[in-house]
Amino acid sequence: MSFAGHQNDVYLKGVFGEQPTLPFDWRALQSAAESVMSPGAVGYVSGGAGAEDTMRANREAFDRWRLLPTMLRGIPAERDLSLTLLGTEMPAPVLLAPVGVLEIVHPEKERAVARAAKAVGLTMVLSTASSTPMEDVQAELDGSPGWYQLYWPKDRDVAASFVQRAEKAGYRALVLTVDTWQLGWRPRDLDTAYLPFLHGQGIANYTSDPAFQAGLSDPGGAVLHFLQMFNNPTLTWDDLAWLREQTHLPIVVKGVQHPDDARRAVDAGVQGIVCSNHGGRQVDGAVGSLDALPGVVAAAGDLPVLFDSGVRTGADALKALALGARAVLLARPWVYGLALAGQPGVEHVLRGLLADLDLQLGLSGHRTVGDLTPDSLVRI
Q: Would you please indicate which residues are annotated as catalytic (active-site) residues?
A: 278
Partners of 123 in the β-ladder? 95
306 phi, psi to nearest 5 deg: -100, 170
- Sign (positive/negative) of CA torsion 210, 211, 212, 216? positive
Whole-angstrom distance, CA of residue 146 vs CA of residue 154: 25
What does the alpha-carbon distance between residue 196 and residue 323 come to, in Å, rounded to a whole number?
A: 36
Angle between helices 39-46 and 26-34 (to 10 degrees): 150
Name the β-bridge partners of 66.
378
3-state SS, residue 5 = helix
Neighbours of 127 (CB within 10 A): 24
How far is it, in rounded angstroms, from Cα 114 to Cα 350? 12
3-state secondary structure of 98: coil
| Orientation angle between helical segments 289-300 and 314-322, nearest 10 degrees | 30
C-alpha span between 25 and 197 (Å, rounded): 32
Which residues face 125 on adjacent strands?
147
H/E run at residue 318: helix 314-322
Would you tell me the crossing angle of helices 5-15 and 332-363 to the nearest 10 degrees? 100
Q: How many CA within 13 A on the CB side of residue 293?
A: 30
The residue ranges of DSSP E strands in 268-320, in sequence order, are 272-275, 305-307
Cα–Cα distances (Å) from 240 to 98, 184, 269, 296, in that order, read 20, 23, 8, 19
Going by the DSSP 8-state scheme, the letter that residue 286 receives in this structure is: P
**End-to-end Cα distance, the chain:** 33
